[in-house]
Amino acid sequence: MRRSRVVSSLFAKRVDDIPKSFIREILKVIDDPEIISFAGGLPNPEFFPVEEIKEAASKVLTDDGTNVLQYSTTEGYLPLREYIADRYFKRQGLKISPEEILITNGSQQGLDLIGKTFLDEGDGVIIEEPGYLGAIQSFSFYRPKFHPIQLLEDGVDLEVLKDTLAENDCKLFYGVPNFQNPSGITYSDQRRREVAQLLEESNTIFVEDDPYGELRFIGEDIPSMKNYLKENTILLGSFSKIVAPAFRLGWVAMSKEKMEKVIVAKQAADLHSNYFAQRVIYKYLIDNDIDQHISKIKEAYGRQREAMVNSIKEYFPPEVSCTEPEGGMFLWVTLPEGISALDIFELAIKEQVAFVPGSPFYVNDKGNNTLRLNYSNVAEKKIEKGIMSLAKVIKSAL
């Protein structure tokens, strides 16, 4: 007994409260090529620019090999930050200086740095319901008080947001306005303006995570929340969905005043992100037409999304509903009340099809009858087959 108590005391209390990533655990279970997996949030590897990256890496090593293998600055490779700033202006009209951009190990590290820098135990954090699992896990290390707000068809429930801000002192509001993970929902322009106005009055910082914003294949682009909230917005971006996830390169953009503190947190974490990878991805970006590359991805994802939505409409029972995203990688399915997505998952695996049950995307005991489906990493023909199998399981449970 004494040894048990000593060993358990080695760990910080905050670690006890953090669950393993449900999605990562599922991916271990379904590591079988015969299973049609709608579970992972994976980009389609067919569009990884392998030859272009190979050429970029060779050029970087040939032209500046000794320097690219050296330590570098915490902020990140300046030309890459300039490229990101210029792209923000060209695509969205946002005036962000390179000094307001920090290169991170994926946008996931950006979330951790934001939590480390801004959150004390008990601080209020507003999140979408359902919300991005990676953000819930990352922020949970800093023991905030989560205030989940339900997502409607055009964004968060405005009345609940208004009441939440009035009744609680919330430091952050974390959201994914474009093709949200896990739901696929996009905030309308009107809802963005309304949310920004409420946050401006409360001084709550909006953390705008936008890994999918360039992957729109239906409708028109909608302005960033930063257009309406200005200095009180922190932007997160990533190269994972438009180039390749293995680089683990993302960024955070925020005012210089906030950035000073986040840089200190970054220095303490890892000194700087992979400098060689930064140089290679920059070389790739300036030597190739990234917009043409993204167009190919969008065209394919649009077809895959259409295949999944059409298959759901054809094979799922009418009691089941799903979102119809205009971009991104996911859609959200709601089963009838009383039907457990976890039970459906166990049955679906036997039919060699997998998905992510919805309950881990909530911070309370909700979402048991919901699930997330990913269409970006499954061929169109397999999508129909997988949805047919999943429909069979769902019908058997009704």
CATH numbers and ranges of domains, the chain: 2-48+292-397 (3.90.1150.10), 50-287 (3.40.640.10)
Adjacent-strand bridge partners of 238: 250
- What does the pLDDT read at residue 8? 58
- What does the pLDDT read at residue 244? 97
- What does the pLDDT read at residue 358? 96
Residue 254 and residue 102: Cα distance in Å, rounded?
9
Residue 39 and residue 51: Cα distance in Å, rounded?
28
Please identify which residue in the block is written with the tokens 């009107």.
190
Adjacent-strand bridge partners of 173: 126, 206
- What does the pLDDT read at residue 391? 97
Which residues make Cβ contacts (< 8 Å) with residue 291, sequence separation at least 6?
Answer: none
- Provide φ and ψ at 323, rounded to 5°: -75, 160
- Provide φ and ψ at 185, rounded to 5°: -75, 145
Beta-sheet strand order (sheet of 124-129): 101-105, 249-253, 233-238, 205-209, 170-175, 124-129, 145-152, 155-156
Residue of 145, 202, 213, 218 whose CA lies nearest to 179: 213
Residue 327, SS3?
strand
User: Is there a contact between 353 and 369 (Cβ–Cβ < 8 Å)?
Assistant: no
Residue 285 and residue 277: Cα distance in Å, rounded?
12
Residue 200, SS3?
helix
pLDDT in tens, the chain (398 residues): 444 555 557 777 777 766 666 666 666 666 678 899 999 889 999 999 999 999 999 999 999 999 999 999 999 999 999 999 999 999 999 999 999 999 999 999 999 999 999 999 999 999 999 999 999 999 999 999 999 999 999 999 999 999 999 999 999 999 999 999 999 999 999 999 999 999 999 989 999 999 999 999 999 999 999 999 988 999 999 999 999 999 999 999 999 999 999 999 999 999 999 999 999 999 999 999 999 999 999 999 999 999 999 999 999 999 999 999 999 999 999 999 999 999 999 999 999 999 999 999 999 989 999 999 999 999 999 999 999 999 999 999 88
Phi-psi bin for 8: left (phi > 0), alpha (psi -120 to 50), beta? alpha
- What does the pLDDT read at residue 27? 67
Residue of 57, 142, 36, 110 whose CA lies nearest to 388: 36
- Element housing 371 (H / E): strand 370-374
The single-letter code of the amino acid at 348 is: A
User: Is there a contact between 226 and 190 (Cβ–Cβ < 8 Å)?
Assistant: no
Whole-structure pTM over 0.75, yes or no?
yes
- Provide φ and ψ at 152, rounded to 5°: -100, -170
Lookup: tokens for 193: 């303006």
User: Is there a contact between 335 and 370 (Cβ–Cβ < 8 Å)?
Assistant: yes
Residue 378 and residue 36: Cα distance in Å, rounded?
8
> What single DSSP character describes residue 367?
-
Residue of 277, 272, 328 whose CA lies nearest to 53: 277
Which residues make Cβ contacts (< 8 Å) with residue 348, sequence separation at least 6?
Answer: 354, 355, 389, 390, 393
Residue 51 and residue 57: Cα distance in Å, rounded?
10
Residue 118 and residue 116: Cα distance in Å, rounded?
6
The DSSP string of 151-198 is EETTEE-HHHHHHHHHHS-EEEEEE--SS-TTT-----HHHHHHHHHH
Lookup: tokens for 152: 């409607």
